[in-house]
Copies of this chain bind each other. A is one copy, B any other.
Amino acid sequence: MNSQAEEHGHHISKQFNAELEDVKNHMMEMGGAVEKQLNDALASVVNADSGLGSRIVKEDDEIDAMELKIDEEASLILARRQPAASDLRLVLAIIKTVRDLERIGDESAKIAKMGIKLSEEREFPEGFVEFKHLGESVTTLVSQALDAFARYDAEAALAVAQGDADVDKEYRSATRSMITYMMEDPRSISRVLNLLWALRALERIGDHAKNIAEHVIYLVKGMDVRHENLDSLAYQIVDAE
């Protein structure tokens, strides 16, 4: 290769790396926006703030627009740059992760809608403790999954997958409490059902955080760990080092 061609190749690869950096940064920005939506949705329920709830429902459109934009950027990189190996894995992991982020935004909007409904009937306080607690666990999980992606940290991602199993346990116990509340006071059924849907949305968000963690492990380790048992997964990740 002559030096001009070399310079040209170097230039292309610098530009390619900049494009990859860009799309990853846009995904992280979307992650930040989704985290904010989730935090606000939790606050709208806990503080019975229907104004905040309505704003979250509206802002879900912006999250949707971010998903489309990043998905298009990533598809363009595939078409123009034809990345291979770890670059290809990064682009595919981004395409999958933005879809999970969009779903977290969706579920947050659902929680906010429940917040608006719940703000109209404050006389029954049962269930808020369970909701607040599960909300905190799930928020932590989402934030850890995004951090693991930012730092390409497969072990931190594995911890997220393990954390989701605890969230599922907590969710089942909260559901049982709700059923007890409904049976004890049938007048509360329709209100407690709203809390049940909000708890279900939180449980889903935990699943999406786990999905993101699996995309990180695929990206870093090059292995697809979806549907794997957690113990064998921990073994594989340590083993692959």
- Where the two chains meet, the residues of A that have a C-beta atom closer than 8 Å to any C-beta of B are 61, 64-65, 67-68, 71-72, 75, 78-79, 82, 84-85, 88, 92, 95-96, 99, 179, 182-183, 186, 189-190, 193, 196, 200, 224, 226-227
Contact = CB atoms under 8 A, between A and B. Distances in A.
Given A183-B186, A186-B186, A227-B61, A78 B88 contact: yes
A1 to B, nearest CB: 21
A79 B222 CA distance: 13
B79 A78 contact: no
Contacts of A72: 224
Contacts of A92: 75, 78, 95
A101 to B, nearest CB: 13
A224 B79 contact: no
A43 B176 CA distance: 27
Given A79-B88, A99-B99, 8 more contacts: A67-B227, A68-B224, A75-B92, A78-B88, A82-B82, A95-B95, A96-B99, A182-B189
A166 B88 CA distance: 39
B75 A88 contact: yes
B193 A71 contact: no
A179 B190 contact: yes
Given A71-B224, A224-B71, A226-B67, A189 B193 contact: no
A227 B68 CA distance: 9
Contacts of A200: 200
Contacts of A79: 84-85, 88
Smallest CB-CB A-B distances: 3 pairs: A82-B82, A64-B227, A186-B186
Nearest to A75: B92
Contacts of A88: 75, 78-79
A190 B196 CA distance: 13
Which of A65, A72, A183 is most buried by chain B, counting CB atoms within 10 A of its CB? A183
B182 A186 contact: yes
Contact of A183 (B82, B189, B224, B227): B189
Given A182-B189, A189-B179, A226 B75 contact: no
A45 B64 CA distance: 35
